[in-house]
Amino acid sequence: MSSDSEKPQKKQQKKQQQYQQLAKQYQPKPPVITNSLKAFLVGGFISLLGQLLQLMYTRVFNFPQEKAGDPTVATLIFIACLMTGLGVYDKVGQWAGAGTAVPVTGFANSIAAAALEHQSEGYVLGVGGNMFKLAGSVIVFGVVAAFFIGILKALIG
């Protein structure tokens, strides 16, 4: 009796596999070159903006070259959070893909978007409890990576 109950499942699995193969034939291919170009252009623009901000901090505000990176990153994070709050960053991100996700602005966007999404649940449990769910793993990885790199640097020289 068990062999009879297995036959319909096997036929159904075979039909499912045939359907998957047929569906794969008609599935549109992603435009990899176009998507890569968009990501490159937007990521490059964000990097160019960061470089211009760093030059501004060194030349206009007389920051030393070694210290100009701190306000540059803070400014990029502020711009990304502001654009997220205005709903602009998500539209750019949908168009550019990974070009907005890779720089520090993508990290700022993920935290700001989570904070805005859970704002109605309150500041402590909503904003505070949810904005680091996505970003928490990135923070932990960064801290652990920095720890091991610090140990390697201390050992090597």
Residue 89 domain-assigned? yes
The structural domain count of the chain equals 2
Q: What are phi and psi of 91, to 5 degrees?
A: -65, -40
Residue 136 or 75, more confident: 75
User: Residue 2: is it exposed, middle or buried by C-beta count within 10 angstroms (0-12/13-18/19+)?
Assistant: exposed
pTM of the model: 0.69
Mean pLDDT of 86-98: 93
Q: In terms of domains, do 57 and 83 share one?
A: yes
Percent of the chain with pLDDT over 90: 51
Mean pLDDT of 68-97: 94
Mean pLDDT of 35-44: 94
Reading phi first (left if > 0) and then psi (alpha if -120 to 50, else beta), residue 30 is in: beta
Residue for token pair 């205005």: 86
Instruction: Please count the other Cβ atoms lying within 10 Å of the Cβ belonging to residue 111.
Output: 22
Residue 28 domain-assigned? no
Q: In terms of domains, do 96 and 132 share one?
A: no
**What is the model's pLDDT at position 18?**
85
Give the residue numbers spanning the domain of 157: 118-157
pLDDT band at 11 (very low <50, low <70, confident <90, very high): low
Q: In terms of domains, do 123 and 67 share one?
A: no
Q: In terms of domains, do 95 and 124 share one?
A: no
Q: In terms of domains, do 85 and 57 share one?
A: yes
